[in-house]
């Protein structure tokens, strides 16, 4: 799974951080940082994070897709 | 379960359909909507849409191509028979179901005045937003009535477009009922700094002008001149179609902790769940008191939980997600988590209007029940984590 966040669209709602805190986080300056290739075990949380983004900034590409 | 009918074709309805498919439901899926539109997002309607930064079609919600659902749009549901398991539509059609999702949302509360001239609007749906946006182009003086987020957002957007704006709220501060006076005072300062005339502790009694609006009459007898007024008086759950069904509907559709819809006998109806603005369910952060939330994230999260309950009836889990919400005001984003309205004490951690930073925590009987911030999205995430951990420990 590959994760991309369009930072021109992100509004820092933090819903992805709520859903998948091991993949998404805010750094000390409140910028969103994330793991672009999260382990498969976290895939469900990452998908929830993408679905819960009100700005629709999170895109997921499944492996092999 | 072969046939699922979802009454309500907005965010909660769509997301329930998606979750049912994700959980492996392979039967027929029918979504019923009273509006002619496919699902769209509502938050932008009072934000980017009014400022002109977004077009109406930008709000369309993506529908997965493999959803395999039938959409019956522009045909509101008129009656529910939970014994015969049918939903009757306004056009006379009857839909049989094995599973039912009630997600009909809420409608803008209207004003009781006998005379409501042209130029008095409400904002709830996409067509309302289009009408308001058009009026904002030509309007000069607008009165916004309402002490909730919607009133403050509309006032801010109208001011941003250069109109003379008066915001009328019944409390001592805007948003006071939702996030208390501390945050209300902060928002009031933002409004005043932007040049909005704030009228507190008053309501709108009526309107002058015929056929076109010329003024709004306030409860103190004063009239504020206006060629445009928006009433943001809150929302009423769309429960009219449930009359006679035996489902209690006061303040929303009464649900058990797993979002199963309750019959008036107190027992959950077989295979009927609710999600979104219309659902009223007991929340542990409110000590088990029933709450209903008209928030985007609530609709999206509840949909997934309702779908799960419908498919796994005997293994249903309580829906205890910590609520979260945001509002755009004068270029700042106010973020809330938990249930600030259910607090008896507030602690102001940070209050900096000039630097656009705010942090207030909400407590009941000494226990943290919510937080509000402006700026610093990392902080609100931390508060939500604390609240989530607290609920997990209590469960």
CATH of A2-61, picked from 1.10.3720.10, 3.30.70.20, 3.30.43.10, 3.40.220.10, is 3.30.70.20
B3-107+235-315 has CATH 3.90.1150.10 classification: no
Q: What is the token pair recorded at B162? A: 């250069």
The gap between the terminal CA atoms of chain A, to the nearest Å, is: 9
CB contact under 8 Å between A18 and B381, yes or no, is yes
CB-closest option in A14, A28, A52 to B300: A52
Q: Which residues of A touch B376 (CB under 8 A)?
A: 30
- Supply the pLDDT for residue B247: 96
User: What is the full DSSP assignment across B13-24?
Assistant: HHHHHHHHHHTT
Euclidean distance between CA atoms B249 and B238, whole angstroms: 9
Q: Do residues B207 and B113 lie in contact, with contact meaning Cβ atoms separated by under 8 Å?
A: yes
Nearest CA in chain A to B61: A56
How many Cβ pairs within 8 Å bridge chains A and B? 45
More reliable by pLDDT, A65 or B96: B96
DSSP state of A55: T
Euclidean distance between CA atoms B74 and B57, whole angstroms: 18
Nearest CA in chain A to B373: A13
Q: Do residues B313 and B285 lie in contact, with contact meaning Cβ atoms separated by under 8 Å?
A: no
List where CATH 3.50.50.60 sits in chain B. 3-107+235-315, 110-231
- H or E element that contains B177: helix B176-193
* Residue B317 CA: distances (Å) to CA of B195, B256, B290, B324: 49, 10, 16, 20
Q: Is the ipTM of this complex over 0.90?
A: no
CB contact under 8 Å between A51 and B43, yes or no, is no
The Cα of A26 is separated from the nearest Cα of chain B by a number of Å equal to: 5
B/e letters for B129-161, b = 16+ CB within 10 Å, e = fewer, are: beebbebbeebebbbbbbbbbbbbbbbbbbbbb
- The CATH-assigned architecture of domain B110-231 is 3-Layer(bba) Sandwich (3.50)
A64 pLDDT more than 90: no
- Supply the pLDDT for residue B371: 98
Nearest CA in chain A to B41: A54
CB contact under 8 Å between B297 and A52, yes or no, is yes
CB contact under 8 Å between B335 and A13, yes or no, is yes
- Residue B8 sits at the vertex; the CA angle it makes with B6 and B13, to the nearest 5 degrees, is 65
**In the Cβ-directed half-sphere of B130, how many Cα atoms lie within 13 Å?**
8
Q: Sketch the domain layout of chain A as residue ranges.
A: 2-61
The Cα of A37 is separated from the nearest Cα of chain B by a number of Å equal to: 22
The Cα of B376 is separated from the nearest Cα of chain A by a number of Å equal to: 6
- The CATH-assigned architecture of domain B331-394 is 2-Layer Sandwich (3.30)
CB-closest option in B300, B377, B385 to A30: B377
- Token pair 């009941």 is found at B364
Selected residue of A12, A22, A53 to mutate for chain B interface (largest B Cβ count, 10 A): A12
Mean pLDDT of A30-57: 94
List where CATH 3.30.390.30 sits in chain B. 331-394
A30 pLDDT more than 90: no
The Cα of A25 is separated from the nearest Cα of chain B by a number of Å equal to: 8
The Cα of B325 is separated from the nearest Cα of chain A by a number of Å equal to: 9
Question: From first to last of its 395 residues, what are the pLDDT tens digits of chain B?
Answer: 999 999 999 999 999 999 999 999 999 999 999 999 999 999 999 999 998 888 878 899 999 999 999 999 999 999 999 999 999 999 999 999 999 999 999 999 999 999 999 999 999 999 999 999 999 999 999 999 999 999 999 999 999 999 999 999 999 999 999 999 999 999 999 999 999 999 999 999 999 999 999 999 999 999 999 999 999 999 999 999 999 999 999 999 999 999 999 999 999 998 999 999 999 999 999 999 999 999 999 999 999 999 999 999 889 999 999 999 999 999 999 999 999 999 999 999 999 999 999 999 999 999 999 999 999 888 999 999 999 999 988 87
């Amino acid at each position: 799974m590959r994760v991309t966040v369009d930072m021109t669209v992100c509004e820092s709602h933090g819903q992805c951080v709520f859903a998948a805190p091991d993949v998404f986080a805010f750094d000390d300056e409140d910028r969103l940082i994330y793991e672009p290739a999260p382990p498969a075990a976290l895939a469900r949380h990452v998908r929830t994070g993408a679905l819960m983004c009100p700005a629709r900034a999170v895109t997921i590409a499944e492996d092999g897709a | 379960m072969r046939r699922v009918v979802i009454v309500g074709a907005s965010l909660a309805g769509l997301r329930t359909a998606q979750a049912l498919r994700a959980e492996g439901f392979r039967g027929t899926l029918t979504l019923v909507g009273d509006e002619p539109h496919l699902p769209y997002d509502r938050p932008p309607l009072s934000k980017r849409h009014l400022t002109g930064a977004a077009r109406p079609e930008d709000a369309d919600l993506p529908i997965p191509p493999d959803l395999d659902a039938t959409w019956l749009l522009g045909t509101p549901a008129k009656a529910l028979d939970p014994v015969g398991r049918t939903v009757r539509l306004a056009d006379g059609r009857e839909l049989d179901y094995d599973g039912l999702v009630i997600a009909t949302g809420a409608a803008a509360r209207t004003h009781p005045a006998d005379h409501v001239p042209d130029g008095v609007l409400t904002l709830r749906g996409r067509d309302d937003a289009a009408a308001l946006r058009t009026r904002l182009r030509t309007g000069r003086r607008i009165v916004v009535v309402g002490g909730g987020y919607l009133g403050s957002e509309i006032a801010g957007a109208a001011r941003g477009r250069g109109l003379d704006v008066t915001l009328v709220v019944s409390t001592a501060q805007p948003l006071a009922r939702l996030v208390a006076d501390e945050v209300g005072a902060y928002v009031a300062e933002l409004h005043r700094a932007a040049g909005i005339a704030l009228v507190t502790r008053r309501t709108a009694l009526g309107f002058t002008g015929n056929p076109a609006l010329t003024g709004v009459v306030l409860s103190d007898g004063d009239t504020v001149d206006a060629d445009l007024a928006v009433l943001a008086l809150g929302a009423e759950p769309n429960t009219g179609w449930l009359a006679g069904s035996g489902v209690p509907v006061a303040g929303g559709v009464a649900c058990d902790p797993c979002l199963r819809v309750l019959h008036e006998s107190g027992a959950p109806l077989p295979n009927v769940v609710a999600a979104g603005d219309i659902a009223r369910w007991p929340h542990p952060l409110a000590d088990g008191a029933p709450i209903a939330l008209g928030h985007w994230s609530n609709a999206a999260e509840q949909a997934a939980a309702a779908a799960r309950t419908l498919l796994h009836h005997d293994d249903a889990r309580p829906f205890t997600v910590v609520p979260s919400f945001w509002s755009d005001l004068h270029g700042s984003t106010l973020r809330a988590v938990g249930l600030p309205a259910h607090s008896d004490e507030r602690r102001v951690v940070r209050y900096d209007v000039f630097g656009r930073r705010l942090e207030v925590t909400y407590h009941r009987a000494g226990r943290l029940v919510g937080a509000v911030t402006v700026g610093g999205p990392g902080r609100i995430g931390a508060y939500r984590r604390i609240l989530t951990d607290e609920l997990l420990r209590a469960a």
